[in-house]
Amino acid sequence: MASPGLQSILVIGPTGAVGLSILRELIKRRSEFKRIGAFNRTSRSEHEKGFIPVHDEKRKEYFDELEAGGVEIVTGNYEHTDAFEGFDALVLAIGNLGIHLSPRIIDIALAAGVRHFYPSEFGADLAVNDNWTQRYYKHKAITREHLSLRAQEYPDLGWSYIMIGRFTEWSCATYFGVDVKNGTGKIYGNENGRQSLLPVPAAAAYTVSTMLLPIDPGEPKTFRREFRFHGGTYSWSFIFALLEKITDRPFTVQYLPFDGAVEDGRRAKAAGDEKGELQASHRMVQGGEGTVLPQPWDNERFPEVNVEPIEVVLGRAYEDGLLVGVEQ
Ligand SMILES: NC(=O)c1ccc[n+]([C@@H]2O[C@H](COP(=O)([O-])OP(=O)(O)OC[C@H]3O[C@@H](n4cnc5c(N)ncnc54)[C@H](OP(=O)(O)O)[C@@H]3O)[C@@H](O)[C@H]2O)c1
């Protein structure tokens, strides 16, 4: 007998870029859910805070906004089950440097009765090229393996992997080798190298729509799910031409052999620079078209979701100052 879908959702990392977008979308569809929670983690260490982009004051502002939208602020830490009790699903919208915590959080949530997980994916298809073994995706792959392992003990354990390629708004950041402020690019690969981009609001809207799909406990494919949402696939030459149009200035782009990023990764690892390691690995993935989203795509199952054109989204990101100096 199919259920009406996931009715109560708790978002971990609710004030992060992805978590907040999903919660804003959940608020728009508040009446379709019984319970929506935002996890206020009290055990954030000062060390972790150094890696988390949202500072305490802004975080409080976001929590106030969420509460005003009908979201329950659930306070706790990753080591106790209490906070997770009563939720059908956890969205793990955790930043890259915290994804290693996911298996532990999943186990605590399972003990609390949670049976569905949206792990912190929201990126490339891990099955493309050698993404599975790339440093950038290490903890995403470990989390998938962990879920498969636990599924042997919990037959009703489910997951949803949301794959989008890359987010349009953050695709032209300095972290990825694009310097909008100075009109330069340093890209591993060549100008024909492609990537798939989807705007953040569309990704959030698709994610929320998947929560409302019926689940049949007798049909694992209804609760062990993969979704690919495609906005568009573009070459670097297309993207730089668009940036020139948006910013009204020429760009000088240097294309480098993409395996040069291996050396960057080695240096970063030796220096204990995890962020640098991830950056180098992402450049490898990118150079090898690892963020091109393969078919089948699931967009047509959710016609209610609007995907804005790339020129509108990048134009707005530029106006909002998002393209200058953004790090991911
Ligand atoms: N494909 C793309 O283009 C793209 C772009 C951006 C992000 N993403 C993906 O989206 C997911 C979320 O990323 P995001 O940018 O939204 O994350 P974020 O803003 O960096 O962090 C989100 C939240 O995760 C927790 N967190 C972050 N770093 C942590 C650490 N070192 N230790 C413990 N907790 C930490 C914090 O939550 P609390 O402290 O409140 O618990 C933080 O507010 C990731 O899987 C990322 O790879 C993909």
Q: Check the CA dihedral 43-49-52-54 and report its sign.
A: positive
Say how many Å lie between the CA of residue 78 and the centre of ligand 1: 15
> Residue type for 126, please?
L
Eight-class DSSP state of 160: E
Q: What angle do CA 271, 93, 310 make, to 5 degrees?
A: 90
257 touches ligand 1 (CB under 6 Å): no
Q: How many Å apart are CA 268 and CA 278, to the nearest integer?
A: 9
pTM, rounded to two decimals:
0.96
18 touches ligand 1 (CB under 6 Å): yes
Percent over 90 (pLDDT), the chain:
84
Identify the CA nearest to 260 among candidates 281, 233, 231. Answer: 281
95 touches ligand 1 (CB under 6 Å): yes
Q: Check the CA dihedral 324-287-254-249 and report its sign.
A: negative
The DSSP result for 61-105, as a single string, is HHHHHHHHTT-EEEEE-TT-SGGGTT-SEEEE---GGGGGGHHHH
Domains in the chain and their CATH numbers? 8-165+197-231+293-307 (3.40.50.720)
Residue-wise pLDDT for 86-119, tens only, equals 999 999 999 999 999 999 999 999 999 999 999 9
Report yes or no: 284 and 262 within 8 Å, Cβ to Cβ. yes
Residue-wise pLDDT for 221-240, tens only, equals 999 999 999 999 999 999 99
Say how many Å lie between the CA of residue 93 and the centre of ligand 1: 6
Q: How many Å apart are CA 207 and CA 87, to the nearest integer?
A: 17
Say how many Å lie between the CA of residue 68 and the centre of ligand 1: 23
The upper half-sphere exposure of residue 45, i.e. CA atoms within 13 Å in the direction of its Cβ, equals 4
At residue 182, the pLDDT reads: 93
Percent over 70 (pLDDT), the chain:
98
